[in-house]
Structure 1
Amino acid sequence: MRASRLVTLLLLLQNRGRMTAQQLAEELEVSVRTVYRDTEALAAAGIPLYGAAGHAGGYRLLDGYRTRLTGLTADEAQAAFLAALPDAAADLGLGEALATARLKLRAALPTQLREHAGRIQERFLLDAPGWYGEADSTPHLAPVAAAVWARRAAVLRYRRWRAPEEIERRVEPYGLVLKAGRWYLIAGGQSGIRTYRVDQVLGFRTLEEFVMPDGFDLATYWTGYLAGFRARLHTGEAQVRLTAEGARRLGVTPTGDPWTDARVPIESIDHAHGEFLRLGADIEVLAPAELRDRIAATVRTLATRYGSLPDC
């Protein structure tokens, strides 16, 4: 543990230049006294480290000195690929490894590139979850991720939307996908490759190791899964008339006329009914007749409920 802390201390000074004992203690989550002992140990080992007292004091490395102790551990290398998603790394138990990996990667860069990487981190942030709704509770994410890393099969207890609502299956976890703040497990089984929402996992027990099937690629599978999902989602079509504003909000190219005729894919009558009502007077549904009648009935109900508006 101390050896790892000494390396981290050295990398902090290499990346940031001068740092006070208090700053180092806060970064390393140790006492200032421990920092004093660690810096003395580094100096005794021949590291050109010196400290100065006073307002502008602190510890720093001799100008031009660079350590080559930047090799990544397995956890740090895995975490490095989640660098744009720190919350995801933390969910997988790799938050500390990610912080150390970033430090090592920055230390390995030339000064100019290191400064450029710092500016990118200051100016850009990827926040995957959507605006509305709280994050899903995923108490089984850690064991699921561990099984993915180790290529171990598992007994999965899962809650789904159709009967029987609770099922139990032996699965072989191939990979994890984070989509819009929600984790999905891609796993093989007797019925082929399936996609499971991790927040719907009720129990997870690891078994023996398994061998990945030849040719499986997680990114390729996910792209195909999304394409199939969208194809199953939009099984119908509606004929509508849109104002310029309605066309813009629905993603339709306006014709330049007061109204634009368009055919748009819909998931179902129920879903389209709610989505089209959001557009208010900027849309008129022409077909299918069932959808037009449903919207007309809703409009009549609203008119009755709210009555005539008072004169302004």
Structure 2
Amino acid sequence: MNSESSDFPASANRKDVAGGTLYIVATPIGNLDDLSARATKVLAGVDVVAAEDTRHSGRLLSHLGLQKRLVALHDHNEKDRAAGLLAELAAGRDVALISDAGTPLISDPGYVLVREARASGFSVSPIPGACALVAALSAAGLPTDRFLFVGFLPAKRSGRRSGLESLASEVATLVFYESPHRILESLRDIGEVLGAGREVVLGREITKTFETFYSGSVGEVLAELEQDAHGTRGEFVVMVRGAEARPGNSEATTMDVDRVLTVLLAELPVKKVAKMAAELTGLSKNELYQRALALKDG
């Protein structure tokens, strides 16, 4: 790859139409020193900054000694605001898109604007930087050759459990974002649906003063979090080791699982059997519950 000039504007980025450039600028997720020199230069050079929360981003720009025209762009107004920002680009003005923290569009607004800007032929240029999921994965010690970023799980328990059940056999490392007031409930559901023995790593307050990583089985991490006075403060990245790769529905695999279930069913109720078998095998509790019911009935 050829090295590119660091002068603003960046670019050998092809434009299909005359106009300004839309810059997708990553901002710090906690530590302000993580803002790149290039990002600062781009923010200083653009005409308009589209921000998720103008008050929050206004403080960042003030810290940089910059005064810019700010336009609010968030989940509730993006479709309406996109047209105005495209008009800015059409007039030859450069626009920077930033979110409250991290890389725009990664569980943050911007998809509509970027898609319409590209469809209209304007240049769209990424200015890389902090991203919570990448930072967390780099320090988690979980496999990163394949990972699946799911964003935020549904807020309601039924939706959350349904979503987890659909991921029970996924072999890639699973990555979620979670808020402090739902972290304990989400961990309990992860343990019940994916198995309390699944390895999990939690990154809390990444790059900030109280950055903390918790690791172990789901059950161990949940217990540690409940005992930590600060355990439910801050934002979380939840990383779960993927399911063990196993043959499809091979006869040998089915017989092994059935043997475990049969032995447990002789002494325990189906619900308890499914929970224990999930911990022993790492398989989906819901899948094992249905299999145990079939064995008991047949």
**Normalised-by-shorter TM-score class:** under 0.3
Q: Which has the higher strand share?
A: 1
Q: Which has the higher contact order (CA 8 A, sep 6+)?
A: 2
Give the TM-score taking structure 1 as reference length: 0.26
